[in-house]
Structure 1
Amino acid sequence: MANHNWLITDDGTRRSFGDSDTPEPGRYYRLYRFLTELEDILDIFHDDISRLEAITPLVRKLLVSSYWLQMEYHNPDPAMGWSVNFLYREHEFPITIQMVSWLPERKSSIHNHGTWAIVALVGGQERNRLWRRAPAPNQPDRLELVEEVILNPGDVVALTANAIHSVEPLGDEPTVSFNLYGVTNFSDRYEFDPESHTARRF
Structure 2
Amino acid sequence: MAGQDWLIDERGTCTAQTHLHPEPPPQPYRLYRFLTDVEDILVRVESDRQRLKLICPLVRTLIENSPWLAWSVSLPDPETGWSVSMLYDEPDFPLTVQMVAWAGGTVSPIHNHGTWGIVALLAGQEKNRFWRRSLTNPNHIEAAGDLTFFPGDLITFLPDAIHQVEALGDEPTISFNLYGETNYQQRFRFDPQQGTANLF
TM-score range, shorter chain: over 0.9
* 2:93 equivalent in structure 1: 93
Asked if 1:12 corresponds to 2:16, the answer is no
Correspondence for 1:180: 178
In structure 2, relative to structure 1, the CA distance for the partners of 1:72 and 1:24 (3 Å cut) is same
CA distance in 2, matches of 1:124, 1:21: 23
- Report how many residues are paired: 200
Q: Which residue in 2 is equivalent to 1:167? A: 165
CA drift of 1:127 comes to 0.1
User: For residue 34 of structure 1, what is the aligned residue in structure 2?
Assistant: 34
Deviations 1:11-34 (A, max 9, x none): 111111132668778742111110
- 2:110 is matched with 110
CA 1:22 to 1:57, structure 2 compared with 1: closer, same or farther past 3 Å? closer
Is 1:192 aligned to residue 199 of structure 2?
Answer: no
> What secondary structure, in the 3-state scheme, does the structure 2 residue paired with 1:178 have?
strand
**Structure 1 unaligned regions, length at least 5:** none
TM-score by length of 1: 0.94
Partners of 2:124 and 2:25 in 1: CA distance: 22
Structure 1 CA distance, aligned partners of 2:76 and 2:22? 27
- State the alpha-carbon separation in 1 of the partners of residues 78 and 139 from structure 2: 32
Q: Secondary structure at the match of 1:107?
A: coil
1:23-57 Cα shifts (integer Å, max 9, x gaps): 77874211111011111000111121011001011
Cα shift at 1:155? 0.5
- Return the match for 1:150 from 148, 151, 154: 148
Amino acid at match of 1:197: G
Give distance in 1, aligned partners of 2:180 and 2:13.
21
For the residues of structure 2 that align with 1:7 and 1:144, how far apart are their CA atoms?
19
- 8 Å CA contact 2:22, 2:58 repeated in 1: no
Percent identical residues: 50
TM-score by length of 2: 0.94
Could you tell me whether the CA contact under 8 Å between 1:49 and 1:160 is conserved in 2?
Answer: yes
What does residue 124 of structure 2 align with? Answer: 124
